[in-house]
Copies of this chain bind each other. A is one copy, B any other.
Amino acid sequence: MNKSRVTVVDIARAAGVSKSTVSLVLQASPLVNEATRARVNAVIRELGYVYNRGAANLRQSASSRIIGIIVNDLTNSFFAELAVGMDMVMQSAGYVQFLSNSAESVDRQREVIASMREHGIAGLILSPARGTEAADLKPLAASGIPVVAVVRNVVGAKVSTLFSDNYAGAKDAVRHLVSLGHTRIAFLGGIANTTVFTERVEGWRDALSEAGLAAPDRLVIGTAASRAGGVAAIERALLLPEAPTAALCFNDAAAFGVCDGLRAAGKEPGRDFAVVGFDDVIEAETAVPALTTVSVDPQGMGRRAAQLLLKQINAGRVEPETIVSSVRLVVRQSCGAGQTDRTRRISA
């Protein structure tokens, strides 16, 4: 059914020129005569020619215009938005991306990286699965393929890294809760022993001690970084002898879970208990109550990561750099600050 693909030679023959000329037309070279260019382009359209990038990439000089993106959990909307941000930049830069989900499995991640290498990616953006080691990225670096790690870092790997200012964000959030008069502020959700978790807890701890408040370990309740994890965390928190009256949650998903758990226990988030999230996913704004959270702007981060990678690809030299993306606290209703967000349409 499908006739053997149309090639430059077919175009050349039909247009009465050489394949070299067709090639020049394809790359919009100024060397070719306008009349010739028009004729060739007409034939290209007529025969339904499709450029074969694979063949072009064969010559060692060319860059493949393909990059790889691997995220650890695409079902988490934070990462989905991160990916969308990257997609936007890559698309307008004329790149296509292999986009895969490692589902937190280093083995799958390894396989995917290998597969992407075989397909000749020009660079890789990786939101590493837990347990990723520097060795996993070594071969890429060795063959001069730039790598940008996002969200999490890979210890020991000499790759560029882009992550949000977890410490400062957590500190700001807790300071805000303190300013609202809370003295027993918990840290809920998230998997301990990850860099991100540690940094956020550190910010929480320092803000408390700065205010002269105690920061006992029992107020740090690590669970899954998900809605279900949030529910579990608040359940445990409410059972504590001196139960907290406010909480900074590991991320927005956990914060939503905390809200759910509070309601199940007969408490209204924002009124009876202050909840602050981290990430500022899209739903944070439309949820009820609207979630006070540390805005990380995942799409923006994705865009910046993509831009960084493109810069490195174009530079040729791979000079690892680390960017700490600043964050800002977005005060909405869930912390009880009572500030009405003017972008919200419903207001009792």
A interface residues with partner B (beta carbon < 8 Å):
1-2, 4-5, 48, 50-55, 57-58, 60, 64, 66, 74-75, 77, 80-81, 83-84, 87-88, 91, 94, 96-101, 103, 108, 111-112, 115-120, 139, 142-144, 226-228, 231-232, 235, 256-257, 259-261, 263-266, 282-283, 286-288, 318, 345-348
Contact = CB atoms under 8 A, between A and B. Distances in A.
B139 A111 contact: no
Given A54-B54, A118-B51, A118-B53, A231 B286 contact: yes
Contacts of A286: 226-228, 231, 257, 260
A96 B84 contact: no
Contacts of A87: 74, 100-101
B50 A58 contact: no
Given A1-B144, A54-B54, A74-B80, A100 B111 contact: no
B111 A91 contact: yes
Nearest to A117: B50
Contact of A96 (B81, B119, B143): B119
A5 B143 contact: yes
A80 to B, nearest CB: 4
14 contacts: A52-B120, A53-B119, A74-B83, A77-B80, A84-B101, A97-B98, A97-B100, A99-B99, A226-B286, A227-B283, A232-B345, A235-B345, A260-B286, A264-B348
A7 to B, nearest CB: 10
A279 to B, nearest CB: 13
A114 B120 CA distance: 19
A327 to B, nearest CB: 20
Contacts of A227: 282-283, 286-287
A317 B201 CA distance: 57
Interface centre among A58, A75, A266 (most CB of B within 10 A): A75
Contacts of A84: 74-75, 101, 103
Contact of A50 (B143, B257, B261): B143
Contacts of A266: 348
A196 B260 CA distance: 31
B288 A4 contact: no
Contacts of A347: 264
Contacts of A112: 91, 96
